[in-house]
Structures are given as structure tokens and as C-alpha cells.
Amino acid sequence: MSDKRQKLTRKIVEAVEPGPKDQFLWDSEVVGFGVRVRPGGHRGYILQYRFAGRARQYQIGAHGSPWTVETARDRARVLQGQVAGGEDPQDSKLGSRKEVTVAQLCDQYLAEGLATRKQTSIDSARSDIDNHIKPLLGAKRASLVTRQDVDQLLADVAAGKTRRTAKTAKKRGLSIVRGGKGAANSAVVTLSAAMGFAVARGVRPDNPAFRVRRFPEKKLERFLSPAEIARLGEALAAAEAVGVESPSAIAAIRLLVLTGCRKNEVLTLKPGFVDRHHRCFRLPDSKTGHKIVHIGAPALKVIDGICPEGSNIEYVLPGEWGTGHFVNLQRPWERIRAAAGLDDVRIHDLRHAFASLGAATGDSLLVIGALLGHRSAKTTHRYAHLAEHPVKDAAARISAEMSRLLGDELVAFEPGPSAPSLAADAGESARAQSLLGRVSQTRWLPTEAAAAYVGLSVPTLHTYRWAGTGPVSRKIGKRVVYAQADLDAWMAGRALDAGWMAAE
């Protein structure tokens, strides 16, 4: 049967009965093209040819979709053309097996493509790659990734296919990967960047992830009203008076709302970055690189309260154990916002609150963008921050207005501060007893002190609170506190009720 040549058709190929050894049928139209029938019944198309004096055999593919007699014959013609052009198809096939996989491409992208990016950007890309891209596409050759593969990746991550929980190198550390639509969008963005890197390196001619339609993202824009800012100031003052939160946590929240800085810009602030004379932070590095942040007197007073000038500490907001900077702001923030009735407010929304207050008081978007450190088409002159300009005045005015809403005692805002007025502000800061919500211990009282103040036992005061007939209280974390003014009002009401009952 191996010597017989005829035009192969599907009927002929499928009519061959498997024998005890391999059987070959050769095509009469394309020399060297044929089908091999193995004893187990497998049928596969092959091409035999000679290259550099050696007989070679190329496996085209198994009979069936996508390889029919016609498609396999066409492929055999292409291969013969390569042989005629001096190229060995078998070497090309071996070369394709050595192509980089998506996993290898991603590793190269992290090492070379992101070499000039910030560590936070690298960590974010690595998270997408390790948690989603590698598990779903890592073994696939980078040159064979299609638009359909990217669409499937998006759907699988959104459906939670990559969900897992694993231990980390840290003691009792856990890595929890949940997936979801937000994670799916992020994974596709990272894959698109890696594929763009592949195009630049000649790994493939196009980017299959470019402009892939992603899930609509919800814009989380939460702006605080003046009443909400006042409630936040009240909760901060109560937490500080009773001592239920770390001073660094309270100061961090105040600085965020008074300066419009990003969270890490405040948490990693060092004393050397604070320029008290020119009222600004000189940040050597930030999300947008070197940055000058103009601030007002209220923000300086917060810093003076926790890190007086000349303090020998590494960070303005030290960690809870005295080393490094404060890191875990989320949990204190959740307790503070719950006490203020702001459960839907994120830490980053404090930055929005600062910007929105500036817009509401008439500042242009250009000035607000400069305050927040957004990238701009125009670069600020190198020493422009030393001169008097609208950005400096806006920082002072917004900070003072924010402080007023928080219920603080501050000097009035005066546009365009000069060097003498700055010195006066510094003296006022040292004399002030109330620093942006810091109040005397007698204004906010814990339950024990409140009970003694109104002349009741602690259980009795608790009973009044549970019954809803006691004085107004606030809950900060697990602690219940009372404002002295609310206690006075409650006692006055009880005395009035007692007078009416006596008169009757």
C-alpha cells in the first residue's frame, strides 16, 4: 500500500482499515504528501522530503478538524515551497517550540519593560500577572495569543476563576485573590502593556489586548458636605480626647483633609520635607515625581502638635512601635468614619473633599490641579513656589475653611503671608490650646467620667443610653464617649422636668 499513489479524498482516508503496523497512503498530486494510519486507528497527514541530502518527515496534523485532506494538501504545498527556498520546515517547527510563553514574556516585561517605573507600579503589575495572567494564559506561546484569548481572560477573572487563598512568606500571612470585574480590567491592562512590550521586542507583530472592551468602571467620587466635615471633626476630637486612637492616626486623617495629599505622601512624610518658612512640603518623590505641596497654617499646627520643629524622629507620623512610619491607617479610619456616620467614605475621598471645597470657593481647576500635584502640560518654574501666587493663597484659604468646618480655633486667614506673619503664626501655634479638633479632656468624657459628672453609676448611665433617654453619646470603636455640653443639656432637662413635677 505504501507504493500506491492516488488523489487522496476523505472517503479513501477513512476507508483504510488499521493493520498490525503503520500504513501509508501517498497523494498523486503533491509529491511526498500522504496519510499514515497507525494500528490504533489514528490517521495523520505527513510530508516526506529531502533537505541537504537527508530524508525528513514533517507531521502536518491529525485527520479531522482543522486538518482535512484539502487543508493538509495546501499546507504540504507551502512546506514544499519552503524547502525549495532553502528553508527546512522541521527547523522552523523546532524554533516555534522555543518561542517565549506568556509567562516568560511577563517575567521579561517586569524585569525590563518596567525597569524605570516606581516600585508600586511594578508590584501592581506583578500582582496581576501572578494572580490572573499566568494561571490562565501562562503556558500559551505569546505569538499565538488572540483577541478571543484576551476576551476569555477578562470573562474568567470577572467570574472568579482565579479565586484562591494561599499562604505568604510572612508569618501567618495570607494572600486572598477574589477576582471580579475590577481585577479583570486591571489584568487586561497589564496584559496589554506586556503585549506592547512584545511588539517592541519583535516577539509578535500586533497587540491582541489593545482596545479590548472592558467592564464599565464605577467612578467612586464621594464629596463631603460641610455638615459631614463637621461631624468628622467632632469624631476626631472625641477620639483624641479619650485616647482611643493612635495620635499618628488622628494626625494623618487631619493632614489628609487639610492638605489634599495622597495617603502615602502623608504617612511617609519626614521632618526634613516640611518647609515651615515657605509653608510647603518638599517631597523628593511621589506618584508624579518630585513635588511641592503648598499648605496652610492649620496643617502646620497639626505637624507641630505631633512633631515640633527640631524633633529627632525619622517620620512625622511614627509607627505604633516607635520604628518606621505609621502604616495601618485603614482600621482607625473605619472606626472614626463609623463614629461620624460616614461609612461610605474612603480615605482617598478626603482628597476629593479638599479639592471640592476649593472649587466651591471659586478656585480655578488649574490652581486646584497645582495644589493636588496633578500632571500638567506646563511645568512650573523651578523656584516659582517661593513667590507669592494664587496656589499659596488657595492652600491657606482652603485649609483655614476646612479647619473652621472641623470646629477648630484658628487665626483668621490673611492672603499672601509674608515672613513676619509666618513667624506670628508659629508663635500662635505654640500658644494655641486647641489644635484642629484637639480639645481639653473635660469636653469629651469616657463613660466612667461622664457617670461621675452627672452623679450616676456607670450601670445606670448605660441603662439610660440603652433606653434612649440618656444624654447624647458617641461611639468611637468600642468606647462610648459623651460631650460635656450634651451632659449639661441633659441634666438641665432633667432638672426642668423635676421642677414641673414638683409644681404639679
Q: What is the pLDDT of residue 243?
A: 84
Q: What is the pLDDT of residue 436?
A: 42
Cell numbers for 486: 450634651
Confidence band for 93, pLDDT divided at 50, 70 and 90: low
Dihedral sign computed on CA atoms, order 123, 127, 129, 134 = positive
Cα separation, 251 vs 438, in Å, equals 10
For 263-266, which contacts have Cβ atoms below 8 Å and span 24 or more sequence positions? 263/329, 263/347, 263/348, 265/291, 265/293, 266/317
pLDDT of residue 218 exceeding 50 = yes
Q: What is the DSSP string of 283-339?
A: ES--TTSSEEEE--HHHHHHHHHHS-TT---S-SSB-TTSSSB----HHHHHHHHHH
474: amino acid identity, one letter: R
Note whether 315 and 324 are within 8 A (CB).
yes
Average pLDDT of the chain? 82
Q: What is the pLDDT of residue 374?
A: 58
55: amino acid identity, one letter: A
Cα separation, 113 vs 121, in Å, equals 11
Compute the CA torsion angle 189, 194, 200, 201 (nearest 10 deg): -170
Quick one: average pLDDT of 129-151? 94
Confidence band for 360, pLDDT divided at 50, 70 and 90: low
77: amino acid identity, one letter: R
pLDDT of residue 173 exceeding 80 = no
Cell numbers for 372: 493636588
For 224-228, which contacts have Cβ atoms below 8 Å and span 24 or more sequence positions? 224/342, 224/345, 224/349, 224/350, 224/352, 224/353, 224/356, 226/405, 228/340, 228/342, 228/345
In degrees and rounded to multiples of 5, residue 476 shows phi and psi of: -110, 105
Cell numbers for 112: 525590563
Q: What is the pLDDT of residue 379?
A: 30
Quick one: average pLDDT of 228-247? 88
Separation of CA 53 from chain center: 61
pLDDT of residue 88 exceeding 80 = yes
Percent of the residues in the chain that have a pLDDT greater than 90, as a whole number: 41
pLDDT of residue 387 exceeding 50 = no
Which of 45-54, 119-128, 433-442 bottoms out in mean pLDDT, i.e. has the lowest? 433-442
CB under 8 Å to 117, separation ≥6 — which residues?
Answer: none
| Closest to 259 measured CA to CA, from 179, 342, 339, 355 | 355
pLDDT of residue 295 exceeding 60 = yes
pLDDT of residue 215 exceeding 70 = yes
The three-class DSSP label of residue 265 is helix
Position of cell 494561571? Answer: 135
The neighbour count for residue 224, using CB atoms within 10 Å, is 23
Cα separation, 63 vs 485, in Å, equals 88
Cα separation, 282 vs 273, in Å, equals 5
CB under 8 Å to 296, separation ≥6 — which residues?
Answer: 258, 279, 395, 396, 397, 398, 399, 400, 403, 413
Q: What is the pLDDT of residue 426?
A: 41
Note whether 23 and 46 are within 8 A (CB).
no
| Closest to 297 measured CA to CA, from 314, 280, 321 | 280
In degrees and rounded to multiples of 5, residue 59 shows phi and psi of: -85, 110
Q: What is the DSSP string of 188-249?
A: HHHHHHHHHHHHHTTS-SS-TTTTPPPPPPP-------HHHHHHHHHHHHHHHHHT-S-HHH
Residue 58, CA distances (Å) to 27, 48, 88, 266 in order: 15, 6, 10, 65
Q: What is the pLDDT of residue 159?
A: 95
In degrees and rounded to multiples of 5, residue 141 shows phi and psi of: -65, 135
Which of 222-231, 283-292, 299-308 bottoms out in mean pLDDT, i.e. has the lowest? 283-292
503: amino acid identity, one letter: A
Confidence band for 163, pLDDT divided at 50, 70 and 90: very high
pLDDT of residue 299 exceeding 70 = yes
Cα separation, 173 vs 170, in Å, equals 5
- List for the chain the helix, strand, coil content (%; round to 5): 50, 15, 40
Note whether 108 and 200 are within 8 A (CB).
no
DSSP state of 416: S
